[in-house]
């Protein structure tokens, strides 16, 4: 059961990360500045796409590939992944709010 929850959380995190990436690109194309100083520095250095999309997706894929080597998934890992999913859900909601109401004036 924990493995199933672990895999679902990893998948949700990967999907939400890619949604965040796409919405961030959309916001940047409308002239909205990057709010995260680390991502802003990555944008200035020209490695934004790598840091924002490729690296997190690759790390989540590695976690999924090596999850079978873990004898049992600890509840603390599941709790951490759950918190990360909730944070990304909040970030996604913030992006949608910003794009709909601030940029497009809906």
- pLDDT tens by residue, 36-79: 898 989 999 999 888 888 888 888 888 888 776 665 667 777 88
Chain centre to alpha carbon of residue 75: 21
pTM over 0.85: no
Q: What residue ranges do the domains of the chain occupy? A: 2-103
- Listed in sequence order, the residues at least 6 apart from 38 whose beta carbon sits closer than 8 Å to its beta carbon are 51
């Amino acid at each position: 059961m924990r493995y199933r929850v672990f895999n679902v959380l990893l998948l949700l995190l990967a999907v939400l990360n890619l949604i965040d990436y796409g919405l961030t690109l959309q916001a940047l194309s409308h002239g909205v500045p990057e709010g995260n100083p680390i991502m802003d520095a990555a944008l200035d250095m020209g490695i934004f796409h790598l840091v924002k999309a490729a690296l997190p997706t690759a790390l989540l894929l590695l976690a999924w590939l090596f999850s079978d080597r873990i004898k049992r998934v600890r509840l603390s890992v599941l709790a951490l992944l759950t918190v990360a999913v909730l944070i990304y859900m909040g970030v996604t909601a913030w992006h949608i709010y910003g794009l709909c109401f601030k940029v497009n004036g809906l």
